[in-house]
Every structure is written in C-alpha cells, then in structure tokens.
Amino acid sequence: MTWCIQAPDEVDVIQDNLLYQLEPPAEGRGVPEWFAERAIGFSAEQRAAVAAYLRWYRDYATGRWGESDLPGHVENALAYWTGDPPAGS
C-alpha cells in the first residue's frame, strides 16, 4: 500500500491487483475461503490503515479517470474494511 501511494504511476497494475485482493468476492465470483483466510486477524488500527488506503485510491482514481470510471470494487472493499470485523479477528 505504501509503495502504491508513493509511486502510483510506477506500480502500474499492482494498484488494481491490490484493490481486487482487498475486496471480498461477490456471490458466485472468486474463492470466498481464500479471501476469508487472509482477511482475518487484523487489528482495528490495521483495518483503519487499509480503509485509509482505499479512500486514497478512490480519490486518486476519481481524479485520474473521473467518477464514472471508478471501479465499484473500491466501495465494496471499503464497506468490508470499515464494517464490523469478521469472526476470528
């Protein structure tokens, strides 16, 4: 996340890949077990850091591509990381 913020143009597609890794899979898409294994155990501060990154990305992407081109994945991921932590966290 730090590198994506410090050098967003240099990281190129890593930015998009990170976004998709932070979004829980929608019904019928992805592997929920894979996400669940990696999304538990974060402290409140760590979850807040992820949410802060996602807000930064939303602002960055909106400025770069415009609101209409902003992927819905950002809001889905933000809803997850700003919501109640899953069981086991």
Within a domain: 4: no
Identify which of 32, 29, 56, 44 has the alpha carbon closest to the alpha carbon of residue 82.
44
Could you report the per-residue pLDDT of 18-76, keeping only the tens digit for each? Answer: 988 899 887 766 677 888 888 888 999 999 999 999 999 888 887 776 666 666 788 88
Which pLDDT score is estimated for 70? 66
> At which residue do the structure tokens 């597609």 appear?
13
Within a domain: 77: yes
The alpha carbon of residue 58 and the mean position of all alpha carbons in its chain are separated, in whole angstroms, by 10
- Could you give the number of structural domains in the chain? 1
Domain range for 20 is 13-24+32-82
> At which residue do the structure tokens 């400025």 appear?
63
Torsion from C-alpha of 54, 88, 41, 73, nearest 10 degrees: -20
Calculate mean pLDDT across residues 3-8. Answer: 89
